[in-house]
Amino acid sequence: MPTWTATGRTLPAAARSGQRQGGRLRPWKKSRMIIILDYPGPTMRRLVAAALVGALLASCAERGDGRLPVVASFYPLAWAAAEVGGGRVRVVDLTPPGGEAHDATLSAVQRAELSTASLVLLLGRFGFQPEIERAAADAEGRVVEVAAGLELAPGEGDLRSDPHVWLDPVLMRRIVGTVVRALAEVDPAGAGVYRRRGGALEEDLGRLDAAYREGLADCRYRTFVVTHEAFGYLAARYGLRQLGILGLEPEGEPSAARVEAAVAAIGSGEAAPAVFYEATEAGRRIGAAVAADAGVPALPLSTLESRPATGDYLSAMRRNLGALREGLRCR
């Protein structure tokens, strides 16, 4: 099948003349936009090209509205950028609602957004979102790794570090500070706005931290069972311990040994009489099955890897606190 390339700027003469690599036209590395059309038949090619061009034209029109284009790799960073930036920024979240940030992949339009954004916000380059981390190497704007400087726990498998720092309100507050500085450096004219809005957001996160400290201070249980071992930083912050049915990466099925350990911990009273699950299809299914085996309720606990169905980061974190208080039998 033929492979067609379209770019957002003129290719150099060597590429225009049909320089090929393995039978395919070699894309020009510095082009602003590369779209691969790999469909047989002229009619299908025209339909796909028209759809992509329409989406790209709409994206270009948005970029021309005077707002600073910012791309965030997943929801907590997109939320922070939008809250700090207000009307001065246009934020694109690369992880779709209901998706797993670990598994995020990029469309042609998203790659174009990332490559042309003035600011790209990544958690880091430690294997959390491999495709996005690789694509960020070709970004023309400023790329900021917001977890840089944070003390990260060890990872497992392909994850070199535990990425789930955003679930700790104290660490999330530091991430907001990093976003404020990044926006002010890219857009100095808006620095005062970013600092003012960022300060207000940091106060909100300070109040959230205080609510967690007070709400989890007097609980009958300190260990809780979770389907996805994403709450290590939060647990360490507030004197709790998580027991994961799945590890840091929620792919696959849990081992029999992990399920047995979780059920035994609940049965012995070591862990709270509940199973906390993340709001994905697999999370609900696994949480319900283990809870049924243990004879306890299954309670939702959002990992906030993508935009919540209702509310925002702060309201979802407050719901998490309510679920923890219920499951841990807090006074």
Tens digit of pLDDT for each residue in 288-331? 999 999 999 999 999 999 999 999 999 999 999 999 999 999 99
Lowest mean pLDDT, pick from 50-54, 234-238, 296-300? 50-54
Pairing state of beta strands 34-37 and 142-145?
A: unpaired
Nearest to 92, CA basis, from 103, 109, 100: 109
Residues 69-95: what's their mean pLDDT? 98
Q: Is the pLDDT of residue 20 over 60?
A: no
Q: Is the pLDDT of residue 53 over 50?
A: no
3-state DSSP helix/strand/coil % of the chain, to nearest 5: 50, 15, 35
| Count of CB atoms situated within 10 Å of the CB of 307 | 21
Backbone dihedral angles phi then psi of residue 213, each to the nearest 5 degrees: -60, -45
Assess contact for 301 and 226: CB atoms under 8 A: yes
Residues 100-106: what's their mean pLDDT? 90
Q: Is the pLDDT of residue 26 over 60?
A: no
Residues 203-215: what's their mean pLDDT? 98
Element (H, E) at 275: strand 275-277
Lowest mean pLDDT, pick from 81-85, 99-103, 197-201? 99-103
Share of the chain above pLDDT 90, in %: 74
Nearest to 193, CA basis, from 182, 202, 180: 180
Nearest to 320, CA basis, from 173, 174, 208: 208
99 token code pair: 């998706």
Confidence of residue 185 (pLDDT cuts 50, 70, 90): very high
Give the pLDDT confidence score for residue 202 in this predicted structure: 98
Nearest to 259, CA basis, from 239, 230, 288: 288
What is the b/e burial string over 2-36, where b = at least 16 CB atoms within 10 angstroms of the residue's CB? eeebbeeeebeeebeeeeeeeeebebbeebebbbe
Residues 2-22: what's their mean pLDDT? 33
Q: Domains of the chain by range and CATH? A: 4-62 (no CATH), 66-213 (3.40.50.1980), 218-328 (3.40.50.1980)
Q: pTM for the complete prediction?
A: 0.81
Q: Tens of pLDDT along 257-290?
A: 999 999 999 999 999 999 999 988 889 999 999 9
Q: Tens of pLDDT along 120-175?
A: 999 999 999 999 999 999 999 999 999 999 999 999 988 999 999 999 999 999 99
Give the pLDDT confidence score for residue 80 in this predicted structure: 98
Burial of 200 (0-12, 13-18, 19+ CB in 10 A): exposed
Q: Is the pLDDT of residue 55 over 80?
A: no
Query: Which neighbouring-strand residues pair with 7?
Result: 34
What is the b/e burial string over 225-259, where b = at least 16 CB atoms within 10 angstroms of the residue's CB? bbbbbbbbbbbebbebebbbbbbbbbeeebeeebb
